[in-house]
Amino acid sequence: MDEHLVAEVEQQHQLLATWIGSSAQPAVLDALRAAHTADFSMVTVDGHVLGRQAVLDGLAGAANSQPGLRILISDVTVAAELADAVLVGFLETHVQHGHTSSRRVTALLQVERKAPHGLRWRHLHETPIPQ
């Protein structure tokens, strides 16, 4: 497994938890914005399909909305390696004040040399794991 791939998945979720779970500086949101391609899309745990702007607008309004949130990443696997992208799967677990919820995630990461870890997020699909 490419260490840059795992580092990218973990770093983005650490940034997300910092933004949503604390009084983070605006630079955290800027880093999240920069990590996504212009055509980024996401399928939420509720089945809604959101484009990049809708996701980023939602994040902008979610600063410190879940104080104490931690996001744990595990079981990172590569489903496919393409010439210009990597399809990855992982388990994402949210922990907040003793409550835990998990989801299986599939993400398409675009290879882009200028990006941190050489990757930008192009598509994300979350499937909740029933409690």
Average pLDDT over every residue of 104-121: 93
- Between 112 and 3, residue with greater pLDDT: 112
Q: Each residue of 33-50: pLDDT tens digit?
A: 999 999 999 999 999 999
pLDDT per position as a tens digit, 68-86: 999 999 999 999 999 999 9
Decide which of 2 and 104 is more confident. 104
Alpha carbon dihedral 70, 32, 47, 78, in 10-degree steps, equals -80
- Residue 65, pLDDT above cutoff 90: yes
**Global pTM?**
0.94
Q: What is the mean pLDDT of the chain?
A: 95
Decide the pairing of beta strands 119-128 and 85-96. Answer: unpaired
pLDDT at 85: 96
Looking at residue 1, what is its pLDDT?
Answer: 57
Which long-range contacts (C-beta less than 8 Å, at least 24 apart) are formed by 58-62? 59/16, 59/19, 59/20, 59/29, 59/32, 60/29, 62/19, 62/20
Asked if 86 and 5 count as a contact pair (C-beta separation under 8 A), the reply is yes
Residue type, 42: M
Helices 3-21 and 52-60 sit at what angle, rounded to 10 degrees? Answer: 50
